[in-house]
Amino acid sequence: MLIYKLKPYISTLIIVFIHLLFSFKYFNRSEGHGVMLSVLYITIAGVILYILSKQHWSWVSGNVIYWGIVIAYASLYFIIFAHLKASQLNVDRWSVISSFWDNAFSGKYPYAAQSHMGNYPGPFPVYFVLALPFYLAQEIGYLSLLGFIGLAWMI
């Protein structure tokens, strides 16, 4: 049965599928070539995963490879942030955070702020406190990068 042959790979296939969905969603919003870029991204990631899965790593070499991938992915984030501005995307997370803190620093009620798409901030103040240093640095996208690096560190 096919399901028994795929059993060791099911979690990897689920993660790859989720990456495919999110890459399509965001590539399509920024570049308009979502399908092509998503397939290219998943193909490259799949080839890398396949090559890495065929290797027999010691703990040290596996750790070096792991952190090499984390650093490469983080570097990709920096390249994307340098060439793509949040205002170019059809998302408003950055705008919700910006409008929240703009209102707060101007003495207005921050939860009455609206994003550029007309959405109000969610009722989770810790999120806005965590985002404050990135708002002050004028690059809220680094919050996602910090989350990625934090997850990689915990793994």
Residue-by-residue DSSP string for the chain: -HHHHHGGGHHHHHHHHHHHHHHHHHHHHHTS-HHHHHHHHHHHHHHHHHHHHTS---HHHHHHHHHHHHHHHHHHHHHHHHH--GGGSS--HHHHHHHHHHHHHTTS-GGG---TTSPPPPS-HHHHHHHHHHHHTT-THHHHHHHHHHHHHH-
Decide if pLDDT at 1 tops 70. Answer: no
pLDDT tens across 7-22, in order?
777 877 788 888 888 8
pTM of this structure = 0.63
pLDDT over 70 at 90, yes or no = no
pLDDT at 102 over 80: yes
Q: Per-domain residue ranges for the chain?
A: 1-55, 58-155
